[in-house]
Amino acid sequence: MKDGKIKNYQIIAPTTWNVGPRTGEGERGPIEEALIGTPIADPSDPVEVGYVARSYDSCLVCTVHAHDAKTGKELARFKTS
């Protein structure tokens, strides 16, 4: 504060905490942990990934890309309509 006004601030959005990289000890972030074991009905259209991501951050699904971990092949890109 300076002269009764905010002089400096930092915004920490929930996405920063929920999608953050693994910790130094290799622990997964909340969204990655929530995705482990999530049943996917159609691998070519894994809408369930979007549901999980949106449950943590409603804007996040706009930037979610699903990839096959074994092949690296992109399965889907989620877009807003």
Q: Is 42 part of a structural domain of the chain? A: yes
Q: Is 36 part of a structural domain of the chain? A: yes
How many structural domains compose the chain?
Answer: 1
Decide if pLDDT at 9 tops 60.
Answer: yes
Q: Is 13 part of a structural domain of the chain? A: no
Residue 53 to residue 58: CA distance in whole angstroms: 8
User: Across the strands, what pairs with 67?
Assistant: 74
Residue pLDDT, tens place only, 13-67? 777 777 777 888 989 888 889 989 999 998 878 888 888 888 887 776 666 677 7
Residue pLDDT, tens place only, 33-46? 998 999 999 887 88
Instruction: Give residue 15's pLDDT.
Output: 75
Range of the domain at 54: 30-77
The pTM assigned to this predicted structure is 0.59
